[in-house]
Amino acid sequence: MKGNKLIFSKRKEERIKGYKKLIKNQEENYTPPKDIAKDIVEAMLAQDYKIDIERALCYLKASYAVFDRRFYLQNNE
């Protein structure tokens, strides 16, 4: 999070750039488990949504990034 001021911007375009930077940095520390991604695919099918494992992995990375941002905001006010 440090050095990534864009992720805290009020402007959506800047936040997206910040998320890109955060997700790129995440790749070194966080790899979503493929077995959980497979389970997400099944759960989405149960809701009549068709996604593949790649999209489920992207969802996991995105949700992890959002959680990190919110956690940082709440604990560093």
**Over its length of 77 residues, how does the chain's per-residue pLDDT go in tens digits?**
678 899 999 999 999 999 999 999 888 888 899 999 999 999 999 999 999 999 999 999 999 999 999 998 899 86
Longest dimension (CA), the chain: 41
Q: How many domains would you assign to the chain? A: 1
- Does the reported pTM lie above 0.85? no
Environment class of 72 (CB within 10 Å of its CB; exposed 0-12, middle 13-18, buried 19+): middle
* pLDDT score of 1: 67
* pLDDT score of 76: 82
Q: Which residues contact 25 (CB under 8 A, 6 or more apart)?
A: 4
Q: Where in the sequence is the domain holding 58, given as residue range(s)?
A: 5-75
Q: Which amino acid is at 57?
A: L
- Distance from C-alpha of 14 to C-alpha of 22, rounded to nearest angstrom: 12
